[in-house]
Amino acid sequence: MIPMRALLLAAAGLWGAVWGSFFNVAIARFPWEEETVVRPGSHCRACKAPIAWYDNLPIVSWLLLRGKCRRCGARFSVVYALIEAFSAALCVALMHRFAPAAAELAALEPQEVTLRVLPALMLFAFAGGLIVAGVIDLKTQLLPDIITMPGIVLGFYASWWIGTPGMKQSAIGAALGGGVVLLLHYGWKLLRGFEGMGLGDAKLLAMIGAWLGPAAVMFALFAGSLQGILGWLVARRRLEEASSDEEKERRPTQVPIAFGPFLALAALEWLVLGDRILAWLELFLGGGAV
């Protein structure tokens, strides 16, 4: 007999992959004007042919079709499959971290199991918002208010339902996240004459704070900045290797790069590894054992 926890993790993987497919739709159709996230149905963006359900299975269909449209042969980006796989792995990781242990699961009634896994599913919804917002920002340098603003409110509610970080810490986290970026935004503009960070980043970091608390805000700023610098260096290297003379003449400091994706990535790292990150920090700062 398959253990309950193994079934739960397998179901989480399927759930995450299916929602990863939805995340792809939301990203590809942004800004959701001519096409929304629900209409029209899934179709090839090259030949407009509808995609049958058996060609729309997360990850599997992309592999079977080798990333091509069955009708016209147009290539589908590997990013679609990667987002579905990442979403599946993320849902499994959240279920592993926040769901009851195997021994406890075995003693619960079915309805009790549902209630106990809801926190992991709520946090996965938050993670999905980070994925969609982060990839959209990477592509367009825009962070959709329709994700970040409701996300702040939902973070307060989730903090009460889940019990962590708690409503007080949620409020502090949201205020800290939004306040720090607003300070950088207007302070940099006052001192240097241009914006240091966008207001979209303030809303995104406030959402992160509302869901995860002030410690996550500080980690997202620190780790997001480090990863953003690495991303900027990669972008600059690609610019220097460009074949176009016009592109080669551009100054490296003119390389545009969004900060939102790196804030979102750092928040996801905290969401999955927050307890381990705190333990590592205690080890580093205090010299104790993990």
CA–CA distances in Å: residue 92 to residues 104, 123, 166? 18, 12, 24
How does DSSP classify residue 80? H
Burial class (CB in 10 A: 0-12, 13-18, 19+), 178: buried
Residue with tokens 């290539």: 75
Query: 135-164 pLDDT, tens per residue?
Result: 999 999 999 999 999 999 999 999 988 888
Model pLDDT for residues 177-220, shown as the tens digit of each residue: 999 988 887 887 677 666 667 789 999 999 999 999 999 999 99
- Rounded Cα distance between 229 and 262, Å, is 10
Q: What is the domain partition of the chain in residue ranges?
A: 1-107, 146-290
- 47 C-beta neighbours (distance < 10 Å), count: 11
pLDDT tens per residue, range 221-269: 999 999 999 988 887 787 777 655 555 555 544 566 789 999 999 999 9
Query: Which position has the token pair 């007999």?
Result: 1
pTM of this prediction?
0.89
Cα separation, 204 vs 183, whole angstroms: 15
Q: Which residues contact 163 (CB under 8 A, 6 or more apart)?
A: none
Give tens-digit pLDDT for 274-287.
888 888 877 877 65
Other beta carbons within 10 Å of 276: 12
And the tokens for 242?
A: 């460009």
